[in-house]
Structure 1
Amino acid sequence: MKPSVIFAGTPDFAAAALDAIVAAGFDVPLVLTQPDRPCGRGLKLQPSAVKKAALAHGLTVIQPSTLKTAEAQAVLQEQNADVMVVAAYGLLLPQAVLDIPRYGCLNIHASLLPRWRGAAPIQRAIEAGDQETGVCIMQMDAGLDTGAVISRHIYTINSDDTAAEVHDALMHLGANAIVADLQQITRLQPTAQSETGVTYARKLSKAEAQINWTRPATEIARKIRAFNPVPGAWTVWQDKPLKIWRAQVTSHTGTPGTVLHSNEHELIIACGCGAISIEEVQKAGSKAMPVTAFQAGNTLQQGIVLASAESNA
C-alpha cells in the first residue's frame, strides 16, 4: 500500500516533485507552501509554483507563516500521514513537526551531502568549479541539512552549464528520486552523513555578484554561470550596471578589466589571468541580448577599463 504524503515546498523545483508524486498515485491529503508574495510592477500577490500545482491537482493547500504554533501542528496531526516530503519550502521544521509523520520527513536537497549544505547549493557548486553535483533524499533532523542520506543521485556539471540549467536537471532528478524512495518507504536504510567534507552554501547577494576583474578568467567565468539567472554577474559601464550572462575563457592577456578586442562580433575583456569573451549581456533598462546585438548600438571601445570589485577578491 502506498504511503500518504504531506508535501511542503514553494518554487518550481518543489512543484516538479509534487507533480511526480501525484502522477505516481500517492495520496496527498495536504500541501504546505509559503504565503502569496507581491510580484511584478503592480506588486500583486502571486501564488507560489507549488500552490499553483496543488490547486491544479485539486489538493488542499495551507500557507502558514510558521510551523511553531500548536494550531499549525494540529492541522498536520489531523492528516495522519505516513510521511512528509519537503523541497525548498522556506520554513524551519521544529522537532515537533519532524516527529508527526509515521516515517518522518524526507527532504529533496540539491547537492551531494555533506558538500553544500544550506541555501544555494547549485550556485556554490558551479562557482567552486565542482565537476559533479546531484540530489540527495535525506531523512530530516533538527540540523541544517545534517540528516541521514537515503539516496544519492549524481549529475555531471558540463563546462558551460549555468545555474538555471543545473537547476532544471536536478529538479527532474529529484522528482524521480523521491518517487522511487516513497515506493519503498518501509525498506529505506538511511546512512549518516560524514563529518568530513562539510561545506556551507551561503545565500547569494547582489554585492558579491559584481565582477572583480583582477581574479582569474576561469573563476570569473564560473561566477557568471553560477549567478545566471539570479542575481546576475555584473560590472559597471557608463556608471551603470552591465550584467554579463554568458562568457567563455580565452587565452588573451592584458590589464584586468580592460577591453582588449571590440568589434561587431566579439568583446574580450582582460582578467587577472587570461580573459573572457562575452557572449550575452544586458545593459540597465534593457533586455539580455547576444553580444553582436549589444555591439551594434552600444559598442564598448577597445581600451576602456571597467570598474572592478576589489572587495570580492
Structure 2
Amino acid sequence: MKIQLIASSSCKIIKSLCTHRYTPHQLYCTENNIASKPPWNILFFGSDKFALETLQLLNENRINNEHQLVKNIEVVATQRTDIRKYAVEKKLKVHDWPVTVNAGQYDVGVLVSFGHLIPAALINSFPYGILNVHASLLPRWRGPAPIVHTILNNDKYTGVTIMKIKPKHFDTGEILLQKKIAVPEKVTYPYLHDVLAKEGASLLVDSLKDLPNLIKQDLKPDLEVTQAKKIKESFGNLNWNDTCENIYTVYRTLLSLKPVYTKLNGLKVYLFDMIDPTLTKDHIQKEKFEALPVGTVRWAKQGNVLLVKCKDGLVGFKGIQVKKKSLPSVFYGLYLKGKDHVAFDSDS
C-alpha cells in the first residue's frame, strides 16, 4: 500500500492512496497537534437520560482540577432533548446536528444513545476516533433496545461496553472495555436503565485515563451476536393465554417506556401498577374463575385490585385507564357491576 504525506502549516496528514479506511494514526502524525495525555478536548453526542449520566460525569470531571481528564467539552444535540437542556443550563457550547468538525479540532468524540449514524469524514476528524457507551456486553444485544431485550430474555448477566464507532453501521466497532453486571431477579426497566447508565458513564471516564494505548485494543468476547431491535407498540398488547410470569416479564420490560394494554369490546384499556404474580397467581378468588375463559376480569375489593385470568392463574393491576386513568373500583362501577363476568377481548 502506498502512502502520501500531505503537509500543511498546522499538521501533516497521511493519506492512503488505496480504498482502506483511514485510522487516527493515518490521519494525524504531528505530535504538536495531538494531545498524548489528558486532559482531553471532547465533543459529546447524545440525546436522552441514559446519555445524560455520562455527560454529567464528564462535565463534573472538567470542573475537578485535582483529577482532571476533561479540558473542554462541547455538545452535539437535536432540539428538545435531555442533553441539550442540560448543556444549556451548564453553559456548555451546543452544536446542532448535523455538525461539521475540522480535523484535530477535538481530541476525541464521545457518543451515547445518539440515534444517528456518524459519517466516516466526521469520525476521521478526531485523532482518537469516537467512543461509544453501549448498554450490553457486545456483541450480545447489538441495536437500539439492549435493555429491553436483556429483561425480555431473562438474561442473568448484562453489562456495558466502550467501543470505537464505525461508519454505516451501529455497534460494530472495536471493543475497548467491558464490565459485566449481574441482572437482579424480576428487575424492571427503570432500575436496570439507571444502573447501566451509571456504570457506562464511569467506565467511559476510566477509558480516558490511558486513551492512546486503549484505542489500540480490540477485545473479542466469546458471545453470540444477537440483535436488539426496537420494539413495536403492539408488543405491549397482553396475551391472556400466556403464563403469569411471562405477562409480568412484558410489564417489567416496558415499565416507564409505554403502558401495557388489552381491549374490552374493541376499546383499548391500559393497565398500570402490576402486582408480583407470586402474590396473585393463587388468589383466594381463583376458584371463581375456574369455569371462565382466559381474560376474565374481576374486582377484588380487598386491596382494590383488578384480577385477570390467564393461562396458569391470576394477575393483578392496581391502575387502569379506559378514557382516563382511574382506580379499579371505578372500573368496576362502570363496566363490571351487576354482570356475571366480563372478559377482555380474546385476541389480546
TM-score range, shorter chain: 0.7 to 0.9
Instruction: Give the one of 217, 222, 228 matched to 2:244.
Output: 217
Please list every run of 5 or more consecutive structure 2 residues that lacks an aligned counterpart in the other structure: 1-37, 63-69
Determine the C-alpha separation between the residues in 2 that align with 1:211 and 1:153: 34
Instruction: Give the one of 328, 344, 347 matched to 1:295.
Output: 328
Does structure 1 residue 7 correspond to structure 2 residue 44?
yes
Determine the C-alpha separation between the residues in 2 that align with 1:193 and 1:49: 33
Report deviation, 1:192.
Answer: 4.0
Amino acid at match of 2:311: G
Does structure 1 residue 246 correspond to structure 2 residue 274?
yes
Task: Tell me whether 295-304 or 94-103 shows the greater mean CA deviation.
Answer: 295-304
Report deviation, 1:297.
Answer: 2.2
Does structure 1 residue 200 correspond to structure 2 residue 200?
no
Report deviation, 1:156.
Answer: 2.7
Does structure 1 residue 63 correspond to structure 2 residue 128?
no
1:9-65 deviation line (CA, Å, top 9, x unaligned): 01111122111011112133431012x2xxxxxxxxxx211112212222211112x
Amino acid at match of 2:113: A
Please list every run of 5 or more consecutive structure 1 residues that lacks an aligned counterpart in the other structure: 37-46, 67-71
**1:148–1:79 CA distance, 2 compared to 1 (3 A):** closer
Q: Give identity over the alignment, percent.
A: 25
1:67-114 deviation line (CA, Å, top 9, x unaligned): xxxxx3xx3126621110000112111222222211111101111111
Instruction: Give the one of 97, 104, 113 matched to 2:129.
Output: 104
Q: Which runs of 4+ in 1 moved over 6 A?
A: none
Query: How many residue pairs end up in the alignment?
Result: 285
1:242-283 deviation line (CA, Å, top 9, x unaligned): 2234332244475422236733314332222343233x4231
Q: Which residue number in structure 1 is paired with residue 5 of structure 2?
A: none
- Of structures 1 and 2, the larger Rg is shown by 2
Q: Which residue number in structure 2 is paired with residue 235 of structure 1?
A: 262
**1:182–1:24 CA distance, 2 compared to 1 (3 A):** same
- Contact persistence 1:205–1:231 (CA under 8 A): no
3-state SS, counterpart of residue 187 of structure 1: helix
- Contact persistence 1:235–1:308 (CA under 8 A): no
**1:29–1:152 CA distance, 2 compared to 1 (3 A):** closer
Determine the C-alpha separation between the residues in 1 that align with 2:310 and 2:209: 51
Q: Which residue number in structure 2 is paired with residue 53 of structure 1?
A: 86
Q: Which residue number in structure 1 is paired with residue 312 of structure 2?
A: 273
Q: If the length of structure 1 is used for normalisation, what is the TM-score?
A: 0.82
